[in-house]
Structure 1
Amino acid sequence: MKILIVAPSRKIGGIERALSVLANEWANQDFEVVYVTCLKSEPFYQLHESIKIVEPKFKRVGGLLNKLLFYPRLLFFIRRTVQQNYPDKVLVFGDWFSPITLLALWKSGFPVYISDRTIPNYPFSFPIPQLKKWLYPSSAGFIAQTARAKVYKEQIFGSQLRIQVIPNALPELSVITTSTVKHECKIIYVGRFAWEKDPELLIRSMVSLVARYPLWKLEMAGTGPLLLSMKSLVKELNLESNVFFLGNVQEVAALYSSTQILVLPSVIEGFPNTLIEAMSFGLPCVCFNDIPYEAIITDGVDGLVVSQRSPEHLAKAIEKLIEDKALRERIGSNAKTSVHRFAKEKITQEILEFMKS
């Protein structure tokens, strides 16, 4: 079977990470894989040497004229690339790139399997909702990351959309072993510095935590549009001795292995890769109930879920783990066991079976 994957890019990102895991696993199983990107970028995730990579020669840059020209060129690029490679199946992830790919391949005869990657009720602006309503029924199948997403799509499309719930697979780093020494007093954040991740709330929660536990540190990995303002906030709150910014971290495995707690303060997540990655290293994780946590965490068993979005409530949850080493170890051990269900071998096989059915 030849599988053609349409990805946003090869830069760091949740969609790119999920698709690279699938692509590498299928390549390891001797499937022919073509990896097509919609945006040209420096690669962050390594792909198997047998995978054919196709990137556009044009770029998306600022300016009205470029924007007007970019999407017609992208549609033509996707259609031509698919026709030239003639795959058995096409797989695309993303709330924007799924409808774009369906439009590019309209009436082409290629079976296209799609998946949205954010919360199902996110209020996208025109024309994304309109394109989804028109084009999604023409897909060969829709992969919902969670049961919550499946229910929402069924309410909109009914029987027009063939839906299967398949979560993300654990990335390659989950099997990396490291001798890194754990630091007893370290919390980490791994993600973009963007409004939907809400890093500000975590930083503000550190004020009361540092007052009570001055030896505890927060290390924040990632970049994004809010990075500079978050650095300013840390200075404003006099947290410079306890909050540190790491930038993009290639060796995330070493980071997970050297810490005690991970906090994911996101407002919006489709299926947070960071949680399952951290849990696979036996880390107790804290998140909010805004996201579909129920697909990953059982509150109090293999993670902690905060129901009220405030620095105070988040600090209380983190404090439980700081105060009780036995609780940290119990939740971390349960977490490491529970994420076995996201093994990449299992998830890639589920997607293959869905595409074959």
Structure 2
Amino acid sequence: MTREVLAIGPRSPPITGPGLKNRYIQSGLEDHGLDVTWVNTLETRPKTVVDILSKTLSYDAYILSASTKVRLGVAPLLATKLRAPDTHGALFPAGGEFADELRAMPGPLRQFYCRTFSTFDGVYPQTDELSRDLRALFDDSVQVRTVPNLRPLPERAASDTGGPSDTLRLAYVGRIKESKGLDDLLSAYERATDAGTDVVLDIYGHFLPDDPYEDRFLDRCSQLPGARFHGKLPNEDVIPTLQDADAFMFPTVYDGEGFPGALVEAFAAGCPVLATDWNFNADIVTDGVDGRLFDPHDVAALSSHIEELADDPALLSDLQDGARQTGRQYSVERVTAGIIENLDASGWDLPEPTVERSRTVEPM
């Protein structure tokens, strides 16, 4: 019976999107009776390499949940073990570029890595579109199933967040960089306010070191009344803060966008998402149900959606209800239960859960 698992990949702290996802995966799997030892690739590289080399000798079940560099570096090492009988592996590729990375490799290298990743019992990307792309690259012996991002549900009920406000409250939480579409967001916000819309915009996040975009963004933001930049928001405050907002802004055009944890946090908070139809966003946001989609860089469309929410409280309320319903699909409880089902279906002999699972997991 599989009880002890070695997992490799980033695990928060420090706070990163993949690191948070892995932290919640570990918590959920341990609730199901697995003893998960996690080698945290966010730590110093020499220590991490020594941990991986020493610990792979003594385990028969492995999870690799990482992005490109770690995935390509560690998978060949694990493949040697995974070819042995009664040894199991699960691959959770972080980000949205896994299939594109494989297709871009020269033929012999692509064949090598496809054979390497095929030694895992299952490959579990975060979106349905990624799953379809990967099924075309692997043979039928590899189970490819979607496992979305996940977050704990908030303990504070939506009814505790206060009454409705005449002012539409918009929020963005995430990295502050040009490819996140923040110039488009500020332009759409300005256009909506110029049209007389009663709206405020709160932006939370951090800049990359020495990014020249920082000065330009701060200058632009300071010129717009009601647009407020607050700096980085502690992770434990993200969902409570979004519960006090009416809608979440996600105008990204970032090439590496996969299944952003920020969208899961917005849904958990009951915040509908106004997002670009970019990469996998349409797999996550259902237009007219839990948010609105618009074409990248379409400032007029985003501004129109903002005005629509401000002018139609009934629509806003319906979208907020839809967001809360969607958020339940990405709870730690539900997603990790799906992981257990996938592992069991791929041949892992798993123990029964050791504790009664709760609705929430304490955030960091």
Give 1:137's match in structure 2, choosing from 88, 93, 118.
118
Task: Please give the residue correspondences for 1:81-100 in structure 2 after superposition, counting only pairs within 5 Å.
Answer: 81-83=55-57, 86=59, 88-100=61-73
Alignment correspondent of 1:346: 334
Q: Distance in 1 between matches of 2:153 and 2:326?
A: 17
Q: Distance in 1 between matches of 2:208 and 2:299?
A: 21
SS at match of 1:159: coil
Task: Please give the residue correspondences for 1:28-107 in structure 2 after superposition, counting only pairs within 5 Å.
Answer: 28-40=31-43, 58-59=44-45, 74-83=48-57, 86=59, 88-107=61-80
Q: Distance in 2 between matches of 1:100 and 1:74?
A: 12
Q: Post-superposition shift, 1:103?
A: 2.4
Alignment correspondent of 2:284: 296
Q: Distance in 1 between matches of 2:187 and 2:71?
A: 37
Task: Report whether the alignment pairs 1:116 with 2:93.
Answer: yes
Give 2:147's match in structure 1, choosing from 149, 155, 166.
166
Answer yes or no: is the 8 Å Cα contact 1:89–1:355 preserved in 2: no
Answer yes or no: is the 8 Å Cα contact 1:301–1:331 preserved in 2: yes
Q: 1:91 to 1:354 in 2, by over 3 A?
A: farther
Q: Post-superposition shift, 1:302?
A: 2.0
Give 1:150's match in structure 2, choosing from 127, 131, 147.
131
Alignment correspondent of 1:327: 315
Give % identity.
19
Q: Post-superposition shift, 1:236?
A: 3.8
Q: Post-superposition shift, 1:74?
A: 4.8
1:241 corresponds to which letter in structure 2? Answer: P
Q: 1:266 to 1:252 in 2, by over 3 A?
A: same
What's the Cα RMSD here? 2.9
TM-score of the superposition, structure 2-length normalised?
A: 0.78
Deviations 1:196-230 (A, max 9, x none): 43323222322212323475221112213287624
Structure 1 portions without partners, runs of 5+: 41-57, 60-69
Q: Distance in 2 between matches of 1:135 and 1:195?
A: 36
Task: Report whether the alignment pairs 1:233 with 2:217.
Answer: yes
SS at match of 2:7: strand
Q: Distance in 1 between matches of 2:252 and 2:301?
A: 14
1:95 corresponds to which letter in structure 2? Answer: T
Q: Post-superposition shift, 1:160?
A: 5.7
1:112 corresponds to which letter in structure 2? Answer: G
Q: 1:224 to 1:3 in 2, by over 3 A?
A: farther
Q: Distance in 2 between matches of 1:231 and 1:176?
A: 37
Task: Report whether the alignment pairs 1:243 with 2:227.
Answer: yes
Q: Distance in 1 between matches of 2:168 and 2:302?
A: 17
Alignment correspondent of 1:44: none
Aligned residues between the structures:
325
SS at match of 1:188: strand
Alignment correspondent of 1:2: 4
Deviations 1:294-324 (A, max 9, x none): 4333211221111343222222222211221
Stretch moving more, 92-101 or 250-259:
92-101
Answer yes or no: is the 8 Å Cα contact 1:281–1:336 preserved in 2: yes
Answer yes or no: is the 8 Å Cα contact 1:266–1:291 preserved in 2: no
